[in-house]
Amino acid sequence: MRSRTRQGTLKRSYAPTWSKAVNSQKHAANLGTSFAPTCRQLLSPNSMRNVQDAENSSLPGGFMNICVFCSSSNNLDDIYLDAAAALGRAIARHGHTLVFGGYDMGLMGASARAAVEAGGRVIGITTEGLSAKGRAVVAGIEEECTTDLSARKKRMVELSDAFVTLPGGLGTFDEFFSVISRVKAGELNAPSALLDVDGFFKPLAALLDDAYARGLNSSNWRAACEIFDDAEALVAWIENAR
């Protein structure tokens, strides 16, 4: 776990957030080409971690980057939006940083806006392609742009100390399975949990339980993931698990 101040900011200095774009513009000018960034390029504090940070990363206590995977659909009932907002507020109230997919859409936007309104730090990982389509970014967050969805997922994992999955579609399931597969394989040491809303994850849990019972999984998936129906209880569990 990374060492943080009470506000959740990382204890290190790093380059101005505009330097990467400025250097790219100068390079493009030298080549006689135009430069039109589709989303803001940020230098991640995690990419500049020093030896002392790495040594402190396993110490107990402190504040975490909690990654939230969830639906970007705007065609959702309030019960899902309310649950996402409750999670965002809980993460912020506990002093942690919310890491998410960046855009102001569906459950992604609901969780991030709630965290910002509660005074929390939020990091949004966007993509060049989606930003070029005009998708709005949640106001008040720190944005980091990646090339595509695969790079975005990789970056979210790199930045995060724990993972929470809310209801979602194919993209959300892809992110969820990527994380718990790595946890089960011992490649990732991080708490992972599902925030169940209106029984959404019950069929998935039943399917995975059946796969384990049939011997299709060599180990029980529940060893890599917990299920909660309350955001506050989930965040408290993450704190104890770390």
pLDDT tens profile 124-153: 999 999 999 888 999 999 999 999 999 999
Using CA atoms of 204, 209, 215, 216 in order, give the dihedral in degrees to the nearest 10: 10
Element containing residue 193 per DSSP (H, E): strand 192-195
Instruction: Answer yes or no: pTM beyond 0.85.
Output: no
What percent of the chain clears pLDDT 70, i.e. is strictly above it? 74
Q: Is 4 among the domain residues?
A: no
Residue 36 resides in a domain? no
Residue 202 inside a domain? The answer is yes
Residue 57 lies inside a defined structural domain of this protein: no
Interhelix angle 149-159/170-184, nearest 10 degrees: 50
Predicted pLDDT of residue 62: 67
Residue 107 domain flag? yes
Count of domains forming the chain: 1
For range 205-221, the mean pLDDT: 94
Q: How far is CA 87 from CA 120, 148, 174, 225, in A?
A: 12, 26, 21, 17
User: Mean pLDDT across the stretch 52-69?
Assistant: 61
114-128 per-residue burial string, b: 16 or more CB within 10 A, e: under 16: bbbeeebbbbbbbbb
Distance from C-alpha of 172 to C-alpha of 169, rounded to nearest angstrom: 5
The CATH number for 232's domain is 3.40.50.450
pLDDT for position 19: 30
Is residue 147 one of the residues assigned to a domain?
yes
pLDDT digits (tens, 9 = 90+) for 89-116: 999 999 999 999 999 999 999 999 999 9
Specify the range with the lowest mean pLDDT, choosing from 39-48, 89-98, 179-188: 39-48
The reported pLDDT for the residue numbered 189 is: 94
- Residue 177's contacts (CB-CB under 8 Å, 6 or more residues apart) are none
Domain with 126 in it = 63-241
Least confident of 11-20, 63-72, 232-241: 11-20
119 within a domain of the structure (yes/no): yes
User: What angle is formed at CA 133 by the lines to CA 140 and CA 141, rounded to 5 degrees?
Assistant: 10
Structural domain includes residue 46: no
